[in-house]
Amino acid sequence: MLTADIDIGGTLTDGIFIDGQKLVCVKVDTTPHDLTVCLFECLREGATQLGYSDVDAFLENLELIRWSTTITSNVLAESRGPRIGLLVSRGHEKNLYAPDAHSVVLKGILSERDVIGVAVSTSETEIMNSVRALLEGGVRRICVSLEGAHRSPEREMQIKRIIDQQYPDHFLGSVPVLAGSDISKSADDATRTYCAIINAYTHGALAATLFKAEDDLRQEHGYIGTFLVSHINGGVAGIAKTKAIDTIESGPILGIHGSAHLAKVYKTGDVIALDVGGTTAKVSVLRDSEAVQRKPSDIFGIPVEISLPFLRSMALGGGSVVKARENGESGEITLGPESMGSLPGPACYGLGGVRPTLTDAFVASGLINPEYFLGGTKAIQGDAARGVIQELVAGPLKISIEEACRKVIGIAFTAVANLIGHAGTELRQNLAGYTLFAYGGNGGLFACGVAERVGLEQAYFFSLGPVFSAFGSSVSDISHVYERTPPISSISNAAADGLNGMIQEIKAESLRDLLGEGIKPDGIEYSIELEVAVPGKTAGAIVLSEASIGDGGNLRAMCEAKTGVAADLMVIDLLRVQIRKAMPKPALVERPLQGTDSTHAIKGARRVAWGSSKGEAQLFHWELLQPGNRVEGCAVLEGANSTYFVPEGWTLVVDQFGNAKLNRR
């Protein structure tokens, strides 16, 4: 089976292509003006490496494309979506049903002046006058989210129909209208409202790119295979079953699932997963080889009553801009949050970037070889890196280039270590005994420096680390999530009958959805959850088997056993059914150990400004290292897709899978 997994990041686009016998990795520049350009550049490069004459011949044989993208995350993080108008139940115009007096959303992607309260008695004329005022004020999308609409959505639907009738979609003045109950069935009114706002805010940019990508694939290149989009739940689904909110942070979450997959292989148990790319650094935590889930959680600081993998991020990566200023007799250096991205990129790219970046500091310090960046496929200019560091960092601070690089790199490592520290505090967990999994384009440079600051003794590099989110995609399954609000909220015989009826309806719908995506609906697994509310407690999810629902008595007994609360005190808020179909996964190729000697992989030595008391590092060909080989720091391991750094005090050993385990001496 020929498959493609493509992850579009802020700076670089990564691809993994598997034809059953061979796996190849690809990195190309992300093209933010049109993400379909880097999609096809990635496909074209994958086709070349697998020996196809052109991309059309490749697509003719390609059965599956799984695509993850940062589109929605970037729109939300950068607050560059359209103006949203919101209709809420009167009295909640400022708090949007949240416990705070003023909702956090009103400080970011939504303006207080664009929120209007409505009541049951509000007439059609009043509603239309309010909507007209919003549109004349510059609003481009309308959300309607009313109190209690998860059980009684009729008023939301009525308002939506009123607006649709006045602004039908065949007129140029049409306005998209979204009901909160269409996006989320959560019993929490604030969560349902926030999900609707986020979805409306990010929908346009994602839809335009996805539809263009699919049109180009199918109409321009005749692709007839399956095209799936990665979701925040770690699975993938077709475009027709994808909401914009489903894709937010899907790439980083695929990295978490890739980490969980390897944590089970290595039996490492507790893991800190560190993803450092060109634009951001992200931290997640695994316990017993499973991602830590949080509920309530947040989406870019917006609190939601949704269970999501724990993930914290900061604007720090290879493209982060370095700034220096004099401060009395000493100097001050700051890093980010601005990024030069892939275009114009760092000064060393030679594409017009004139500001120093972290990548420039890595190059000027000797940690990145300008002659072998990305295996020599991307030409960069070492003199430009040193020049911009001298002019805008070392010169103003009256220090050497080497000292400037040490300061910049130290600031970067400390910032990420602090992010991990905050994660431990937030989770109320001492992370000192955890293992660090470092991946992403810059993960191999950060791992040891960050681990030392956190107090970690063990870390891993991965051969697929530079394309790790794409690897996470390659081990992901088809996943659809269906939510229903039961008409009867009590746990009774009638509730059991109603739940069973809903489950059968969902099963039938899921079969239709899979067939519509070109997926054979065999081997499907179902997981069933009930969200229940208990007075005085946070709502919780109860995982049930279909057989356990049976009758009311059985259902009551199961819920009481799982919660320790009398069934009469519980209220069923939500039925959630997730269907999952396993997809083929790349096998880890195991090779025999070859002994500890790594001298055959040495390619020389180079001056370095970091990690060596002698100021020098041995250089190794990453791809020439064999299972069992041992490398003592200070060493730089140069690969076709990334650079890995082993400072003094660390030892690296290549394992049977071609990955590397590092230990502090």
- Helix residue ranges per DSSP H, 428-529: 443-454, 468-474, 493-516
Quickly state the pLDDT bin for 617 (edges 50, 70, 90): very high
Torsional sign, CA 293, 296, 301, 302:
positive
Looking at the DSSP bridge assignments, the partners of residue 195 are none
Q: Give the whole-angstrom CA distance, residue 13 versus residue 39.
A: 8
In the predicted model, is pLDDT for residue 537 greater than 80? no
Q: In the prediction, which pLDDT does 329 show?
A: 56
At residue 189, the pLDDT reads 95
pLDDT band at 59 (very low <50, low <70, confident <90, very high): very high
Instruction: Spell out the residues 6+ positions from residue 266 whose beta carbon is closer than 8 angstroms to its own.
Output: 460
Among the listed residues 409, 296, 374, the one whose alpha carbon sits nearest the alpha carbon of residue 647: 409
Q: Is the peptide bond before 337 cis (omega within 30 degrees of 0)?
A: yes
Q: Where in the chain is the domain with CATH 3.30.420.40?
A: 3-76+207-247
Q: How far apart are CA 184 and CA 310, in angstroms?
A: 21
Tens of pLDDT, residues 175-207:
899 999 999 999 899 999 999 999 999 999 999
Candidate from 333-337, 340-344, 472-476 with smallest mean pLDDT: 340-344
Class of the CATH domain delimited by 478-581: alpha beta
Strands 281-287 and 3-8: unpaired
Q: Residue 51 burial by CB count (10 A; 0-12/13-18/19+): exposed, middle or buried?
A: exposed
Q: Which residues contact 588 (CB under 8 A, 6 or more apart)?
A: 265, 657
Q: Taking 80 as the threshold, does the pLDDT of residue 172 lie above it?
A: no
Name the band, by pLDDT with cuts 50, 70 and 90, for residue 29. confident
Is the pLDDT confidence value at 539 over 60? no
Higher pLDDT, 30 or 115: 115
Alpha carbon 274 to its chain centroid, in Å, reads: 12
The dihedral over CA atoms of 342, 348, 349, 350, expressed in degrees to the nearest 10, equals: 130
Q: Which helix (H) or strand (E) holds 272?
A: strand 271-276
Q: Is the pLDDT of residue 331 over 80?
A: no
Q: Are 367 and 341 in contact (CB under 8 A)?
A: no
Instruction: Identify the residue whose tokens are 């199918």.
Output: 218
Mean pLDDT of 114-139: 94
Quote the pLDDT of residue 215.
93
Q: Is 224 helix (H, G, I), strand (E, B) or coil?
A: coil
Average pLDDT, the chain: 91
The CATH class of the 3-76+207-247 domain is: alpha beta
- Taking the C-alpha atoms of residue 597 and residue 434, their distance in angstroms, rounded to an integer, is 29
**353, 341 Cβ separation under 8 angstroms:** no
What pLDDT, on the 0 to 100 scale, is given for residue 650?
Answer: 97
Q: Where in the chain is the domain with CATH 3.30.1490?
A: 478-581
pLDDT of residue 328: 56
pTM: 0.88
pLDDT 10s digits, 220-238 = 999 999 999 999 888 888 8
Helix (H, G, I), strand (E, B) or coil at 481: strand
pLDDT at 327 over 70: no
364-392 confidence digits (pLDDT tens): 999 999 998 877 878 899 999 999 999 99
Mean pLDDT for 242-258 is 91
Average pLDDT over residues 413-425: 96
Q: Helix, strand or coil for residue 197?
A: helix
Q: What is the pLDDT of residues 78-104, one digit of tens each?
A: 788 999 999 999 999 999 999 888 999
Sign for the pseudo-dihedral over CA of 590, 591, 593, 597: negative
Helix (H, G, I), strand (E, B) or coil at 381: coil
